[in-house]
Amino acid sequence: MLKRLALVLLVAWAAAGFLQEVNQAVAGYDDRAPQRGPWAWRFGTAETEDLTRCLEAAQRLMPAGSTVAFTSEDHPEIQFARWRWAAYLLPAYDVIPVSDPATGTLARYAIAYRTKIDHPRAELMSILPHGWLYRVKPPQ
């Protein structure tokens, strides 16, 4: 009797877990689930569309093959995700984070998404949708 009860409880627990996982998966497709965190980004969301507009505007002002430093506001995990999206959306450029130690010697341009850069070597080139494009002066 105890074995049957344990088996019934195990099957009920597995079924409830399965139904919960199915509900969460379906909620992601029919927009019932809230979009949280950088790992929930998908094409077509407001965040990715804003970033795409910013980078498309910057792309028109920089020569292909340039090294571009990228920075954004918010927490480190969101900065990391935005940097990876920027690298994906700018395939003709070498996109590195502003925090990279080699940025000062490699980057000739810098894109600041939803934040500004206040550095003596950063010269404002253009105001972008949701951001700013800077020319990085060479080190002296």
Kindly report the average pLDDT of the chain as a whole number: 88
Q: Could you read off the pLDDT of 81-108 as tens digits, one per residue? A: 899 999 999 999 999 999 898 888 999 9
Q: Are 90 and 57 in contact (CB under 8 A)?
A: no
Position 40 scores a pLDDT of 64
CA distances from 59 to 29, 35, 36, 75, 138 (A): 32, 28, 28, 25, 21
Domain ranges of the chain: 2-33, 40-136
**pTM for the whole thing?**
0.72
What is the average pLDDT across 121-129?
95
